[in-house]
A and B are shown apart, each in its own frame.
Chain A
Amino acid sequence: MDVFAPLQWIADRITYDLVGLSPESKAGSALDFFLYDVPKVLLLLAVVIFAVAIIRSFFPPERTRKMLSHSRLYAGNVAAALLGIVTPFCSCSAVPLFIGFVESGVPLGVTFSFLVASPMINEVAIILLFGLFGWKIAALYVVSGLFIAITSGIIIGKLGLESWVEEYVYQIRMGDAGELPEQTWPERFTYARGYVAEIVGKVWPYVVVGIGIGAVMHGYIPDDFLVQYAGPNNPFAVPIAVLIGVPLYSNAAGVIPLVSVLTEKGMAMGTVLAFMMAVVGLSLPEAIILRKVLKPKLIAVYFGINAIGIVAIGYLFNAVLH
């Protein structure tokens, strides 16, 4: 059973009975799409972000750091990528996180697996992919994200680029905060509620605008319109999609509803996934923030390996998903 059926029913009643548009008309199809998708996506966001926030309250970065210190190549990279999903992270704390990891003996390559996975596999992206594309695509996204995070971390670890980290990082000694008291359940709930309000409050305009544009395209643009430009047979589609994705950072919420319509109009799935990953994983603001601890050469390597991985994933899925 489709749990969203009641939302569809409400959207249908408003569009066809209240407004009086015909289901066959372009305007009717667009309005119905909009009225169904907006509440559905916002509802999904609120529920899942709440759950994610509760899970995250068990994984403060200080604990993650303890778990990863003195870990080894390979196993450490896998653990770091997985922990990257559950450890709360915002680009504003990327620098203290990086220093803290390095200071406690987390190998550089393992630290990078964390830094790649954490923003790329973010809950907003996963929820939207799940809601608009289904669980298979969402799972594929998570697995590919983990794969890129693990391999790029291993490559950076193998290259031995420790000297491309700013020297002062190695001189910082962290103090001991002592054991901060474990959060109580009421505190976790308060935190989760606040987190939902913060994230949904921030992304809802993007969701509405994204779905709005998507709805218009859904209603008015012919279905195979994009096949010749962004279909699986255009070899340049993936790299171009990645380039377009870089400056769209943090707008995953507005971008995904849009790409869901792009796929409907003929954009290939691998291109869509690569685009999504570029939007959330290749962020210029984060690169600028990381400049405080990384020399430009290392930022270039980090971005380069990531971008190559994302493009490769795009081509791979364009080849196998039809």
Chain B
Amino acid sequence: MVIKILGSGCANCHKLEELARKAVEELGIDATFEKVTEYPEIMAFGIMSTPGLVVDDSVKMSGRVPTYEQVKRLIAEAR
């Protein structure tokens, strides 16, 4: 599984990445993380507000930092 964190490096993006890493660990999923920080690339995913969470090239969420439970559910569903 490839998890991408979209965002130009703001505090919220770091928070989201932390949550996603924790979720992956708890779910026991083998995932690699990528940070997408350039705007043209971020926008190629079709979102306008950061942070964004992309799992295997499908956008799961954008514009807010979800709770840990939400992140876990989004990642578990994508498995």
Q: Give the interface of A toward B (CB within 8 A).
A: 60-62, 65, 88, 92-93, 95-97, 99-100, 103, 168, 172-178, 180, 187, 190-191, 194, 292
The contact of A100 among B10, B43, B64, B70, by CB within 8 Å, is B43
Q: Size of chain B's interface in residues, with CB distance under 8 A?
A: 25
Whether B59 and A103, one on each chain, are in contact in the complex, defined by CB atoms closer than 8 angstroms, is: no
Determine the chain B residues whose CB is within 8 A of the CB of A180 once the complex forms: 59-62
Interface string of B37-73 (1 = CB under 8 A from A): 0011011111111100000001111111111001000
Q: Give the interface of B toward A (CB within 8 A).
A: 8, 10, 12, 39-40, 42-50, 58-67, 70
Determine the chain B residues whose CB is within 8 A of the CB of A92 once the complex forms: 8, 10, 12, 50
Whether B46 and A61, one on each chain, are in contact in the complex, defined by CB atoms closer than 8 angstroms, is: no
Nearest neighbor of A187 in chain B, beta-carbon distance: B70
Task: Give CA–CA (A29, B61) in the complex, Å.
Answer: 51
Nearest neighbor of A191 in chain B, beta-carbon distance: B64
The contact of A97 among B12, B44, B49, by CB within 8 Å, is B49
- For chains A and B in complex, what number of residue pairs have CB atoms within 8 angstroms? 74
Whether A194 and B62, one on each chain, are in contact in the complex, defined by CB atoms closer than 8 angstroms, is: no
Determine the chain A residues whose CB is within 8 A of the CB of B67 once the complex forms: 190, 194
> What are 13 A-B residue pairs whose CB atoms fall within 8 Å in the complex?
A61-B48, A62-B46, A93-B48, A93-B63, A95-B39, A99-B43, A100-B43, A172-B43, A177-B45, A177-B62, A178-B58, A187-B66, A187-B70
